[in-house]
Chain A
Amino acid sequence: AQKITQTQPGMFVQEKEAVTLDCTYDTSDPSYGLFWYKQPSSGEMIFLIYQGSYDQQNATEGRYSLNFQKARKSANLVISASQLGDSAMYFCAMSVNRDDKIIFGKGTRLHILP
């Protein structure tokens, strides 16, 4: 069974600073995928970034990068130059196959301070 752990229930960060959201995972499957989603107050799930377990390089998407440390089973999300609009709930998630069900962590609520 897969498990996602997010240990930071909430974070406060000053605008324009970089922020790292922690995520660890556990699975016995050799092939898996890791996701990060943003959920603003509207409730919609916004896909941010994906990392495959066999990808050699860390995934990056604009201001988002995923710090993938396979041996430590961690997949931290790094947001550079945070903006007020980044305030939201962030979920780390994983699936065994790209087209399989996604298991979510408990989430981290990020507050960006002006």
Chain B
Amino acid sequence: GAVVSQHPSWVICKSGTSVKIECRSLDFQATTMFWYRQFPKQSLMLMATSNEGSKATYEQGVEKDKFLINHASLTLSTLTVTSAHPEDSSFYICSAIDFRSYEQYFGPGTRLTVT
């Protein structure tokens, strides 16, 4: 099946620094990617929809200036957590839509810990 990768798989950063998470579709082109956040023992919450070549659409309550999303190509979307704080520590998961089949595939997730 189609593969979506995320890098890094885990990251620890200090409070106040920024961290970038990459989401790549490895064997298909994805015009749309989604970013989710999952706190421990909770469900996945959609943060934003990322469309190639256009600005991301953020869900209500998600700070667009804090969570910068760039979908620069048909195979790559990045999420940058700016000025990270301990409350941003979470599991971040991306998903990508294969534009040929409309199937949605999830990445393996990135665990962010802010100290």
Binding between chains A and B:
yes
**With the chains together, A87 CA to B93 CA distance in Å?**
21
User: A43: which B residues are within 8 A, CB to CB?
Assistant: 38, 91, 93, 108-109, 111
CB closest chain-A residue, reference B110: A43
User: A105: which B residues are within 8 A, CB to CB?
Assistant: 43
Question: What are the interface flags for A83-107 relative to B under an 8 Å C-beta threshold, 1 for contact and 0 otherwise?
Answer: 0000000010001011101111111
Label chain B's interface by main secondary structure. strand
User: A44: which B residues are within 8 A, CB to CB?
Assistant: 106, 108-109
Segment of B16-24, B70-78, B81-89, B96-104 engaged in the interface with chain A: B96-104
Answer yes or no: B67 CB below 8 A from chain A CBs: no
Answer yes or no: A81 CB below 8 A from chain B CBs: no
Q: Given known contacts A43-B91, A45-B93, is B108 in contact with A101 (CB within 8 Å)?
A: no
User: B38: which A residues are within 8 A, CB to CB?
Assistant: 43
User: Are A99 and B102 in contact, CB atoms less than 8 angstroms apart?
Assistant: yes
**With the chains together, A95 CA to B93 CA distance in Å?**
17
Q: Given known contacts A45-B93, A98-B103, A99-B102, is B43 in contact with A104 (CB within 8 Å)?
A: yes
B residues in contact (CB < 8 Å) with A: 32, 34, 38, 42-46, 49, 91, 93, 95, 97, 102-106, 108-109, 111
A-B contact pairs, 20 of them (CB 8 A): A37-B106, A42-B108, A43-B91, A43-B111, A45-B44, A45-B93, A45-B106, A91-B43, A91-B44, A98-B103, A99-B32, A99-B102, A99-B104, A101-B49, A102-B34, A102-B46, A102-B104, A103-B46, A106-B43, A107-B43
